[in-house]
Structure 1
Amino acid sequence: MDISDLPYPDTSQFEHYGIDKRPSRIYIGREFLKFRYHENPSDDITVTKQNYVDEFFELVEGIELPFQKVYINQSTLTEVAVWLHRNQSELAAEKCLTEAFGESPLIIEPTTTTVFQSAIDAFVKDSDKDPNFGEYLDYATMQEAQIEHILTWDSDFCRFGEQITMLPHKMWNM
């Protein structure tokens, strides 16, 4: 399936992955979160991804998907806010941070010393440095919080194998 054929999120899409009861836990990757605050999308792929992210959050907030909260770590949120400030606008970065600490479905997981060390160990041990360190940190956070699903557009998470389910990435790459 091409990304442009990706349907808007609904409950049936997630039941296929064993996510059929509330509350399931899901982690949000940096690339997915960036599209929530992307300003003036100029191409079809960006528009499709932004629409999907917006619809996903509307459904989560409306209790129509099996997720009450969406998890992210401090480092990823910081990285997204910095990227938005540099590549979009100060307003986009402010909106991201304000929503994250306000009435948002986002739960911010602390980057503990244990999680950080686990990410460092995995990164140093891995001979293929294709995923960046931030992705190892996301994965270590997910392991610590026992979260099996991640919202991502990024194929680098494939390296973590069957331990996590990448949504909607897995949906359009089936």
Structure 2
Amino acid sequence: MQDVEAFIELIRQNRHQEALDMLNEFPALAKTRTERSGQLHGATPLHWAAHRNATELCGRLLDLGANVNDSVSDWWLTPLSWGADAGSAEAVELLLKRGADVNQDAIVGTTALHAVAMGGSTQGKGDPGAYERTAEILIANGADINRRTNKQRTPLDEAIDNENNAVANVLRQHGALASKAST
């Protein structure tokens, strides 16, 4: 079997066709995870494919038995939250259609909606439209817009604090509330 680290590296580098070719040759890769130490420990190829908005690869991984609700990663736990963190609207939509739990704990009481509200490494400013679309998709699929984390923070709190205005506006349009600590 091929090395999962090499497979994930192809996905990280957006070399999706090469990753698909490798997956078709070694289908067992769909159920593997990285053993690298650190924050990304435990991530699966599906986590990375969702983060990179590689919908064809996500679909193939799921067809081969990847767990849509896998939660063993040491970072954002679920593939859905990884996709939401990156504003990967199409991958998020696919994962939801394939059975992802929209309100599954992503870490310390957060959900994918908290992840999109935080906006990833750009705080949603890299592509505000992608984060806005991702938030709309999550809400349309039943995301709890007022879910509180273990620290009592709502998705709107996260959007406000990260100045992720596109997502904050979407949340407000749907009646989301900020906690008293954020107002």
Indicate the structure with greater strand content.
Answer: 1
Q: Which has the higher contact order (CA 8 A, sep 6+)?
A: 1
TM-score, L = length of structure 1: 0.31
